[in-house]
Amino acid sequence: MTNQELKLKQAGFKITTPRQLILEVLKKYKTPLSAKQIYQYLPQIDLVSIYRNLKLLTNLKIIFQEIINNETFYYLDKKIHHHIVCQRCGRTECLPCNHKYKIKNFTNISHQLILSGLCNHCH
């Protein structure tokens, strides 16, 4: 049983084929993927189930999400990383700390920092 499957089980959820496949895809492609993208790799699984499972896995902190240009992307390994997005075509590049030079491919740069957490009320 994988580490992720263990977490699922410990939280009292079933280890189902869709869940296993979604995790495998995220593991294989290593990059943040949208529900639609995962669906393209797994057309056997209903898109709705993909959405539901991505939400569950996110709640359990088995996977993590980031929202870019009104679409949510999911990834397995939580490491803080940043992006630069083209305002016109939406092209996105990851900016791992050791690739900062990539910012030279862009002009007209602005930025937005979103911190998220749980407010007192929800905690």
Partner DNA sequence: TTTATAATTGCAAATCATTTGCAATTATAT
Partner DNA sequence: ATATAATTGCAAATGATTTGCAATTATAAA
Cβ atoms 86, 110 nearer than 8 A: no
Cβ atoms 34, 71 nearer than 8 A: yes
Is 70 a binding residue for DNA by CB under 7 A? The answer is: yes
The identity of residue 69, as a single letter, is N
Cβ atoms 108, 87 nearer than 8 A: yes
Choice from 11, 36, 68, 77 touching a second copy (CB under 8 A): 68
Q: How many residues bind a second copy (CB under 8 A)?
A: 40
Residues of this chain, 16-35, that bind a second copy according to CB under 8 A: none
User: What CA–CA distances, in Å, run from 103 to 20, 54, 78, 82?
Assistant: 36, 31, 23, 11
Residues of this chain, 84-113, that bind a second copy according to CB under 8 A: 84-89, 91, 93, 95, 103, 105-113
Q: Which residues contact 64 (CB under 8 A, 6 or more apart)?
A: 58, 74, 75, 76, 77, 78
**Residue 60 touches which of a second copy, DNA, none (CB < 5 to 8 A by kind)?**
none
Is 72 a binding residue for DNA by CB under 7 A? The answer is: yes
Cβ atoms 22, 28 nearer than 8 A: no
Is 14 a binding residue for a second copy by CB under 8 A? The answer is: no
**Residue 113 touches which of a second copy, DNA, none (CB < 5 to 8 A by kind)?**
a second copy
Judged by the rule CB under 8 A, the positions of this chain that interact with a second copy are 64, 66-70, 72, 78, 80, 82-89, 91, 93, 95, 103, 105-123
